[in-house]
Amino acid sequence: MAENKDTASDKDAAKDKDAEQIVTPWDVQGAKGEDGKLAAIDYERLIEQFGTKRIDAELIARFERLTGVRAHPFLRRGLFFSHRDLASILDRFERGKPFYLYTGRGPSSGSMHTGHMIPFLFCKYLQDAFHAPLVIQLTDDEKFLFKQELKLEEAHKYAIENAKDIISFGFDPKLTFMFSNLDYMGGGFYQNVLRIAKCITYSQARSAFGFTESDNIGKVHFASIQAAPSFSNTFPQIFGPKGDIPCLIPCAIDQDPYFRITRDVAVRLKYPKPALIHAQFFPALQGSGTKMSASKAETAIYITDTAAQIKNKINRHAFSGGGATAEIHAQQGGNPDVDVAFQWLKFFLEDDDELAEIERTYRAGTLSTSNLKKRCIEVVSNIVADIQERRKAVTDELVKEFMDPTAKKVVELKVPVGGIVVDEKKAKK
């Protein structure tokens, strides 16, 4: 029997020993060179390993044509770079058929950091572009299982605090359902968890995620919990009991192993396969060889940090691609490909022309590292301050509105530009 293409290379994808590049849902680092330094993540290699497709200019142009909305900077700059079945989601939108967005957050601390902002900024953009319903899973149970020192009560408290952070991104409560796994588990959700769990063997889980005999059984089982929101009848109060509405999942590429298994399970359960759109990792302050981590304060800028803290962290810790001295930098120029301040501007600076000019002058050596960091500090500080201001307006009542499991949500998407395309064969019938 031929091996399914979605899971054929799970083991190699989780840990590629040839390239020494590690990409799993819990550990991300680039290949280690002979000098001990971590190289930047090789995303082309990940596309090859995971068997995904690159998001090309044609797909972006179709997105813009159907939605009437300019592509987000994350798309224009290749920061969301890979996908599974995004074209099929656009097909449904063009035909007036529903789909929903699904993303999540693993609450490992009381505050999210700037790296966590990426999927939520993009989900907000997609929600507006399609007028799409969105479900947000807070995996407080996962963090309890994977962090030995974390107490269950702490994990749940972090989930509620993170929910307030997420609400401050401006999501529409009429289109958004956010839930803590510890609170929402039961009903259609738990029924799907069991259906999924019955389809996944320990051998598959171990191959995909690298589990060992010392891992607790909760870790092994968690794949079925993260998979369940991919199926619409996990939320019967919103989408009904059939499970026939597919979802689009914006996520970092390290989450793909979960959803490769989910896509295999979907076929067995006769559910639509979830579509995915993958982001590059938001680099830690120390460089592009790893991702930012909320549990490692030295790598991160939190959205609770003050302007002074942001300035201090970027100036002191952000890895520079500049020359060793001002003279060398002026002669040889800098390398924006490894410079953290520039990489962050790729995510957060709206103006494409300004970004291109920064890159040109930094490579030429006429823009100094200190001035590049100064611009990065301005941009990041403004974004964080804006979120902090909106978070002040998030009340307990608003949190309950987003997390009410009985609340009805709007499922109808907006009409695509040019109108809905009618299937002529079905129309004749």
C-alpha pair distances (Å), 358 with each of 103, 284, 342, 412: 32, 21, 8, 42
- Tell me what percent of the residues of the chain surpass a pLDDT of 70: 92
> Could you tell me which of 210, 251, 282, 265 has the C-alpha nearest to residue 84?
251
> Could you tell me which of 11, 3, 9 has the C-alpha nearest to residue 208?
11
Q: Fill in the amino acid letter for 204.
A: Q
- DSSP letter (8 states) at residue 185: -
Q: What's the CA gap between 390 and 394, in Å, rounded?
A: 7
What CA dihedral angle connects 403, 405, 406 and 410, to 10 degrees? Answer: 70
| Entry field: residues in the chain | 429
CB atoms under 10 Å from CB of 246, counted, come to: 23
Question: Per-residue pLDDT tens for 5-34?
Answer: 455 445 444 444 445 788 877 778 788 877
Give the DSSP H/E element, type plus range, for residue 347: helix 340-348
Q: What is the pLDDT of residue 22?
A: 83
Flag whether pLDDT at 381 surpasses 80: yes
DSSP sequence for 78-141: TSEEEEESHHHHHHHHHTT---EEEEEE---SSS-BGGGHHHHHHHHHHHHHHT--EEEEE-HH
Q: Fill in the amino acid letter for 190.
A: Y
Flag whether pLDDT at 372 surpasses 80: yes
Question: Per-residue pLDDT tens for 85-122?
Answer: 999 999 999 999 999 999 999 999 999 999 999 999 99
Phi-psi region of 187 (alpha: psi -120 to 50; beta: other; left: phi over 0): left
Q: What is the pLDDT of residue 130?
A: 98
Question: Per-residue pLDDT tens for 199-231?
Answer: 999 999 998 888 999 999 999 999 999 999 999
Which strand ranges, in their side-by-side order, compose the sheet holding 176-180?
53-54, 80-84, 275-279, 247-252, 100-105, 134-138, 176-180
C-alpha pair distances (Å), 111 with each of 99, 118, 280, 302, 303: 30, 15, 22, 6, 7
For all residues of the chain together, what is the average pLDDT? Answer: 91
Question: Per-residue pLDDT tens for 157-203?
Answer: 999 999 999 999 999 999 999 999 999 999 999 999 999 999 999 99
Flag whether pLDDT at 302 surpasses 50: yes
CB atoms under 10 Å from CB of 210, counted, come to: 18
Q: What's the CA gap between 253 and 8, in Å, rounded?
A: 17
Q: What is the pLDDT of residue 21?
A: 83
Q: What's the CA gap between 365 and 331, in Å, rounded?
A: 7
Listed range (11-20, 54-63, 379-388) with the worst mean pLDDT: 11-20
Q: Which residue has the higher pLDDT, 198 or 292?
A: 198
Q: Fill in the amino acid letter for 41.
A: I
Which residues are within 8 A (CB) of 204 and not within 5 positions of it... i.e. 6 or more apart? 7, 10, 261
Structure tokens at 107: 């609450």
